[in-house]
Amino acid sequence: MMKKLNLLELPGHLIRRLQQQSTSVFQERMKAEGFDLTSVQFAALNTLGKGEGLDQATVAKRIAYDRATIGGVIKRLEQKGLVTRTPDDEDRRAFKINLTEQGKDQLTALQPVVLALQNDILSELSDTEKAMLLKLMVKALKSAG
């Protein structure tokens, strides 16, 4: 007979499930706190938080997003009034993305919420186990940066 792989024991499947759980917890908590941002949007906003006027490509690089994906993410942040896009004088192909005042306020308000929610993602684990998992995940990333 066909010997079926037990997906539930394979890294690929477990990682996918964990990612599901992670985004699910993120969405629930955000909604509960009255915010309307995805984890992806938050990551971009947070990266832009220094006010350096990064361009899209740099943001994408820092958080390992696809160049083609980041455009839509920034667009949605712009529509929500959280960032502005200004043509870059030094490179006319690029735009400098900056937080609006509202964006800065949102980010400040969001940070403690996001920090707290990270714990909920791994609420089944003890602190020791969480630390161990984080360490292993960092090591497992081929291009951890």
Residues of this chain that interact with a second copy (CB under 8 A) are 2-5, 7-23, 26, 39, 43, 46-47, 49-51, 63-64, 104, 107-108, 111, 114-115, 117-118, 121-125, 129-130, 132-134, 136-142, 144-145
Please say which residue, 40 or 125, places its beta carbon nearer to DNA. 40
Residue showing tokens 């696809």: 66
Residues numbered 60 to 119 that lie near DNA (CB under 7 A) are 65-69, 71-74, 76, 88, 90-95
CB atoms within 10 A of CB 145: 6
83, 120 contact by CB (below 8 A): no
Q: Min. distance of Cβ 79 from a second copy in angstroms?
A: 22
- Contact by Cβ (8 Å): 103, 83: yes
The length of the chain is 145
Shortest distance in whole angstroms from residue 1 CB to DNA: 24
The one-letter code for the residue type at 124 is: E
